[in-house]
Structure 1
């Protein structure tokens, strides 16, 4: 709305500048005030049509994607920055800053899987007019892998031995070993390229306070203008190689609840796009029926899951560590108990009542791309089978209080999730399901900033996992699932030793799983590699380390006045924001040509 008030202020200022004689003359004409209103309304309409308004639940903290603190930072950064390539919804790669996708046929991929050569598009410029070259790609690698920088995207670059600028438009990447995951670095939201001429003076520990983190120079369709009152404003990038985008201004506002954001797009019509609106089915249907917009659901590999803690969250080691591997959980360390819990949860009810068409029941931790799934894995809801397994394991209700017990230990569990209306309803349904089989559940609700925190002092985080169960949504953010599936390796267990920075919060360790992952990390044959990932998927399901509930869509609210929005699960929603425009709007080519000729 800032551009709206800016127009009003400028119109007011123009009236102040009119001479007194002119004001007297205006006052003598009875029809003139009506004309002034018409001009003002027309100016407001034009400002509204040239401004794209985006709404998010969290406020961006940085526009440097490699220092991101959450999805909101990637979403905002992607308006400005670009990778070498990204992925369409079906997983196919498409070039962005690259001229072509490397293949063995065009000489981009070596037969031994050790090198990849990227050819860059010519005549690409940063928004400050400086040329984009291979040196920027080399610098981005140096930036991301600098230990003092501690980039959140570093994992995607770990397999690289070196990156070289062969010439200004050619980049050669050499890997430490044959690498089937050659496409991970420099692609998607984790691959955005930084300008060397901007960041080269602030490497190391100083990078966190670099002004460019909040005022970036990018190659994308928009350039950063300002931030005020929680609204980040971007303007059309005159240097953009594809010409000026349709909208002159993009306003990104964060800190809204999902319902308010969805309402503003779907009912009120004063915003164009609301990201990831996690609403229950009824609210979503009611708002979509208001006629101002539509709800868009994009399915990828993301799965809402229940994680089971294989360690005891209540026992404390002499070092002060809870949920330590050395202290197995009193009953969740038993795979038969975990299987019983799996049988007891009614996924159909969760999908039908809570998600509707925004979710699909799943029994796969890796549901997409399809080649990684195991069709032999079946979902079975059976409280009867759950009771039989618990009886066989010796957990019975010895004192008739409705809660099973064994050797003086009752089956009581703390179940934590980040605060969210969808998850809160899911928690309640699971609590009711487990009560039917004699397991008592206490619900804990954690604010998202604490739950997803990487702060070692934040004991309510998902990696500390000081609970028996927890629920959240995660999945692979690229079609190659190698990083995602590494989360269950033995050396990835979160602990006090690594300050809870490792992703294996279930404390799962299985040498058989590790062996499969190591094989997949070296296998260059796509079919054989897909089979290895399918085996990993199967092993995690058989061991019931995690209980997949719902294959969850990214659900966005999109205004009916907007077209060109093509969301992919493998990049930020803003990845193609340069193609967004008003429905039925004429092409921007004429305006682009005029703008270029006027320079």
Structure 2
């Protein structure tokens, strides 16, 4: 039990958020201009796994608890963080009880109640709903009210790390009154609610134009009468990372731009203009190449990229998957596109440090063209007159897709050249980020549908514990038509041994054992080539020099404390 207490104590080491200096009055600093070059397609994070949707919705929607800039868990809608010591976590670790803070209201003036929290769980777990954040509720048996102000979450078994459901920007509480008719398959149809959720955050939605502009205004019912300092937020979407960086760092048209995936030397030149700065925070973000384990030939029709299509004719061969990884020079990719904001990695869990595995570094971090060629030769993939390998009538020709961005297109070109050296042909494709990450079940171009052989993007987990994140590679998390193409398991990886080990992690209390299992799960994904990790990415964003109160984090939404942002006087 002592080990469990140490884990919980470490997670709640700091419960008080440091804030900016007291503000004169709410709304005194005018309009805050934000720029997301990946435009926002919905303000419901349960219908999209995209970071842009999660960050933008965090301006309005809040979880019971979140994480600060150091990764410490902090109260949001509750009085304090439940622990074993204060009785909030049961001694047998099978439940956690959250007590709502007094006076918390929705932006429409109605009180937040345990019913809203209970409904949120039902919303994400409703059959046919395809909740994009289902892993957050993994192992939750029941959510019930305890009196008028508390919510008890009961787990299917002991849950040594109980801070998953309703914790972090990916798992906010939504209002039952607004979403009550949006359960299951009806969820995507509730356009008004998905585009204008009623929340508890410092701002509320005024107008939303999908894939274009979101206008927020200060929430008059926000719990701190002096906040936010800004009267409104204009969040503009679209363009590209380069123009977004310029708009903050050179022209000063915007106050903040998210995700500055721009060549490092270009950013350095822009910063010299003196209008803004790049702030980078390392957390758990990994740029990776997914390898589709299912067949994707267009002739398969509705079965394409589903289990019914059968295994991928080439990528189902472990030798092919490993050779693709061996052929990549990660150092070159980092140098060309990331500079000091990137590090080569072969892990899908790159941090915190305690969880970082070194098992595959010896063969994976160093490019080995000769070894990759030998591996394919030995597996019977022979080069034809066109230089492309083939076996049994199947050629190693792959469609490689990603979102539109200069760094990503640069990486695509580098990888294509590297793969050509081992007899692999590549067709490159890039898709507008607003579409690629949008989650529209009607679109053929989303990363959830994955109508390609390989695809590249990044994501991460909030907080410092990867349990829920690693659950995303379980067999039941594979997107499909039955789930509205939602689900975290984009590569369609399915391994019963992995599923069992993931469930064991959720029941393991001792820290040293948890670390061991996390590393084993990470190594299993790399050994099996569920995907190819490339770069451990910092999160670089651009901030105007006129802003104060910024506390950059990679453990939660970068807008986690936007209520404290203000204009320098």
* TM-score normalised per structure 1: 0.81
Match of 2:372 among 376, 386, 391: 386
1:350 equivalent in structure 2: 333
| Structure 1 position 92, deviation (Å) | 2.0
1:121 aligns with 2:101: yes
Alpha carbons of structure 1 residues 303 and 410: separation in structure 2 relative to 1, 3 Å: same
| Aligned-partner Cα distance in 1 for 2:248–2:189 | 35
The answer as to whether partners of 1:323 and 1:466 remain within 8 angstroms in 2 is no
The answer as to whether partners of 2:478 and 2:490 remain within 8 angstroms in 1 is yes
Once structures 1 and 2 are overlaid, which stretch shifts more, 531-540 or 48-57? Answer: 48-57
| Aligned-partner Cα distance in 2 for 1:336–1:148 | 36
The answer as to whether partners of 1:487 and 1:504 remain within 8 angstroms in 2 is yes
| Aligned-partner Cα distance in 2 for 1:366–1:322 | 26
The answer as to whether partners of 1:297 and 1:556 remain within 8 angstroms in 2 is yes
Match of 1:199 among 178, 183, 190: 178
1:220 equivalent in structure 2: 201
| Aligned-partner Cα distance in 1 for 2:78–2:484 | 38
2:383 equivalent in structure 1: 397
Superposition RMSD in Å: 3.1
SS at match of 2:296: strand
1:364-383 superposed matches below 5 A? 364-378=347-361, 379-383=365-369
The answer as to whether partners of 1:259 and 1:277 remain within 8 angstroms in 2 is yes
The answer as to whether partners of 1:136 and 1:193 remain within 8 angstroms in 2 is yes
1:337 aligns with 2:326: no
SS at match of 2:86: coil
Q: Deviations over 1:78-136 (max 9, x none)?
A: 22332211013443211112111111100011121211111232233334444444444
The answer as to whether partners of 2:128 and 2:483 remain within 8 angstroms in 1 is no
Alpha carbons of structure 1 residues 200 and 288: separation in structure 2 relative to 1, 3 Å: closer
The answer as to whether partners of 1:419 and 1:446 remain within 8 angstroms in 2 is yes
Query: Greater CA radius of gyration, 1 or 2?
Result: 1
The answer as to whether partners of 2:49 and 2:133 remain within 8 angstroms in 1 is no
Q: Deviations over 1:44-78 (max 9, x none)?
A: xxx99532211112444444444557433333332
1:72 equivalent in structure 2: 52
Q: Deviations over 1:8-42 (max 9, x none)?
A: xxxxxxxxxxxxxxxxxxxxxxxxxxxxxxxxxxx
The answer as to whether partners of 2:403 and 2:433 remain within 8 angstroms in 1 is yes
Give 5+ residue unaligned stretches, structure 2: 1-26
The answer as to whether partners of 1:102 and 1:116 remain within 8 angstroms in 2 is yes
| Structure 1 position 373, deviation (Å) | 1.9
The answer as to whether partners of 2:404 and 2:430 remain within 8 angstroms in 1 is yes
The answer as to whether partners of 1:149 and 1:208 remain within 8 angstroms in 2 is no
1:537 equivalent in structure 2: 522
| Structure 1 position 561, deviation (Å) | 0.8
The answer as to whether partners of 2:474 and 2:495 remain within 8 angstroms in 1 is yes
| Aligned-partner Cα distance in 2 for 1:311–1:66 | 25
Alpha carbons of structure 1 residues 164 and 457: separation in structure 2 relative to 1, 3 Å: closer
Alpha carbons of structure 1 residues 466 and 208: separation in structure 2 relative to 1, 3 Å: closer
1:217-256 superposed matches below 5 A? 217-226=198-207, 230-235=213-218, 237=220, 239-241=222-224, 243-256=226-239
SS at match of 1:277: coil
The answer as to whether partners of 1:361 and 1:550 remain within 8 angstroms in 2 is yes
| Aligned-partner Cα distance in 2 for 1:486–1:453 | 22
The answer as to whether partners of 2:28 and 2:230 remain within 8 angstroms in 1 is no
Match of 1:265 among 248, 254, 279: 248
SS at match of 1:301: strand
Q: Which structure has the higher relative contact order (CA within 8 Å, separation 6+)?
A: 2
SS at match of 2:169: helix
| Aligned-partner Cα distance in 2 for 1:457–1:252 | 25
Give 5+ residue unaligned stretches, structure 1: 1-46, 586-599
The answer as to whether partners of 1:184 and 1:478 remain within 8 angstroms in 2 is no
| Aligned-partner Cα distance in 1 for 2:181–2:249 | 43
1:57 aligns with 2:37: yes
1:169 equivalent in structure 2: 149
| Aligned-partner Cα distance in 1 for 2:366–2:562 | 42
The answer as to whether partners of 1:566 and 1:576 remain within 8 angstroms in 2 is yes
| Aligned-partner Cα distance in 2 for 1:332–1:215 | 41
| Structure 1 position 354, deviation (Å) | 1.0
The answer as to whether partners of 1:224 and 1:233 remain within 8 angstroms in 2 is yes
Match of 2:397 among 401, 412, 426: 412
SS at match of 1:276: coil
Alpha carbons of structure 1 residues 530 and 449: separation in structure 2 relative to 1, 3 Å: same
| Aligned-partner Cα distance in 1 for 2:504–2:480 | 26
SS at match of 1:295: strand
SS at match of 2:515: helix
The answer as to whether partners of 1:344 and 1:433 remain within 8 angstroms in 2 is yes
| Structure 1 position 356, deviation (Å) | 1.2
2:534 equivalent in structure 1: 549
The answer as to whether partners of 1:188 and 1:571 remain within 8 angstroms in 2 is yes
1:86 aligns with 2:71: no
SS at match of 1:173: strand
Alpha carbons of structure 1 residues 201 and 49: separation in structure 2 relative to 1, 3 Å: closer
2:414 equivalent in structure 1: 429
SS at match of 1:340: helix
| Structure 1 position 364, deviation (Å) | 0.7
| Structure 1 position 369, deviation (Å) | 2.2
| Aligned-partner Cα distance in 2 for 1:261–1:573 | 16
The answer as to whether partners of 1:567 and 1:573 remain within 8 angstroms in 2 is yes
1:100-115 superposed matches below 5 A? 100-115=80-95
1:6 equivalent in structure 2: none
| Structure 1 position 481, deviation (Å) | 2.3
* TM-score normalised per structure 2: 0.84
1:527 aligns with 2:498: no
Once structures 1 and 2 are overlaid, which stretch shifts more, 118-127 or 432-441? Answer: 118-127
Q: Deviations over 1:513-558 (max 9, x none)?
A: 2221121122233331221121011112122231110012222110
| Structure 1 position 410, deviation (Å) | 3.9
| Aligned-partner Cα distance in 2 for 1:224–1:492 | 31
1:310-325 superposed matches below 5 A? 310-314=293-297, 320-321=303-304, 324=307
Tell me how many residue pairs correspond in the alignment: 536
